């Protein structure tokens, strides 16, 4: 009887120690810091203020290269890709005023569904890197990672066919976006986007906009359904 009790103690103590060790490991990340809390929940329908001229938010014109400055002088709203019913692009979609967007968040992927043009972004949050060879597309290749309460999204692989705003700030296919979606509270996100494009801008520049939760659902939108305006558009006199 005593031997059986002694045997159970001999087995129980190491088992207990292993359990304590595993429990401690589970509470730490690989860097040894305490385990981060679950990322904030960004799910919902959101909207940021309509930003037709990004330079007004910035307080001045972005740092144009001579090439970009020359193009901007000649740019006309008639040439806005949206006028042609083309996709809005990743950052401009966030700034689309009262056409809201929906964020659908899972542990490995976060999708942004834009009401405008019914387009969407896919942000991979599974730890992958950008592909070595990216074909430029309307919304590019986005990867995201959590930095505390902030989803940091890195986007490359964008084509040069979208505008950054209605005013006609353009970009090339070398555009690199870094966005920070910082959850402030249940109904508010602070969104900061940094534009880096050596062909159009001499240095990276950023704007910050408040994103607020909307008491609505995203709705259907087809730009081509009954488009009748293009034939009436006139260039501004320049």
Partner 1 sequence: MRLILSIALGLAFILLSASAPVLAHHGFVVEFDEKKPITLVGVVTKMEFMNPHIYFYVDVKGKDGKVTNWALEGGPPNVLYRQGWRKDTVKPGDIVTVKGYRARDGSNLASCTTVTFPDGREISAGPGAVSQGGYKK
Binding residues vs partner 1 (CB under 8 A): 49-50, 52-53, 76-78, 80, 82-83, 85, 95-99, 115-116, 166-168, 215-216, 219-230, 232-236
φ and ψ of 115, to 5 deg: -65, -40
Cβ-based nearer residue to partner 1, 109 or 223: 223
Smallest gap from residue 48 Cβ to partner 1 (A): 11
Cβ-based nearer residue to partner 1, 86 or 109: 86
Smallest gap from residue 76 Cβ to partner 1 (A): 8
Reference 34, options 167, 148, 159, 197; nearest CA is 148
Cβ-based nearer residue to partner 1, 67 or 221: 221
C-alpha distances in Å from residue 115, one per residue of 95, 103, 164, 181: 12, 11, 17, 19
Smallest gap from residue 145 Cβ to partner 1 (A): 30
> Please, which residues have CB within 8 angstroms of residue 110's CB and are 6 or more apart in sequence?
42, 103, 104, 123, 125, 144, 151
Task: Give the C-alpha separation, 164 to 64, whole Å.
Answer: 13
Three-state secondary-structure class, residue 66: helix
H or E element, residue 152: strand 150-156
Smallest gap from residue 232 Cβ to partner 1 (A): 5
CA 178 vs. chain centroid, Å, equals 8
Cβ-based nearer residue to partner 1, 2 or 228: 228
Cβ-based nearer residue to partner 1, 6 or 232: 232
């Amino acid at each position: 009887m005593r031997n059986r009790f002694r045997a159970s103690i001999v087995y129980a103590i190491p088992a207990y120690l292993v359990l304590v060790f595993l429990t401690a490991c589970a509470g730490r990340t690989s860097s040894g810091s305490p385990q981060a809390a679950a990322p904030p929940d960004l799910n919902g329908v959101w909207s940021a203020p309509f930003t037709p001229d990004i330079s007004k938010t910035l307080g001045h014109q972005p740092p144009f290269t001579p090439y970009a400055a020359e193009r901007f002088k000649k740019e006309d709203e008639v040439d806005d890709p949206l006028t042609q019913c083309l996709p809005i692009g990743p950052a401009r979609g966030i700034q689309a005023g009262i056409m809201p967007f929906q964020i659908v968040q899972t542990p490995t992927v976060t999708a942004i569904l834009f009401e405008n043009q019914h387009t969407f972004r896919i942000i991979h949050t599974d730890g992958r890197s950008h592909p070595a060879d990216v074909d430029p597309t309307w919304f590019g290749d986005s990867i995201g990672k959590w930095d505390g309460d902030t989803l940091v999204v890195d986007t490359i692989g964008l084509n040069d066919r979208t505008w950054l705003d209605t005013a006609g700030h353009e970009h090339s296919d070398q555009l690199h976006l870094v966005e920070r979606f910082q959850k402030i509270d249940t109904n508010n996100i602070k969104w900061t986007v940094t534009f880096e494009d050596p062909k159009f801008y001499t240095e990276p520049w950023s704007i910050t906009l408040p994103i607020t939760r909307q008491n609505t659902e995203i709705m259907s939108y087809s730009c081509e359904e009954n488009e009748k305006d293009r034939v009436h558009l006139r260039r501004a006199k320049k």
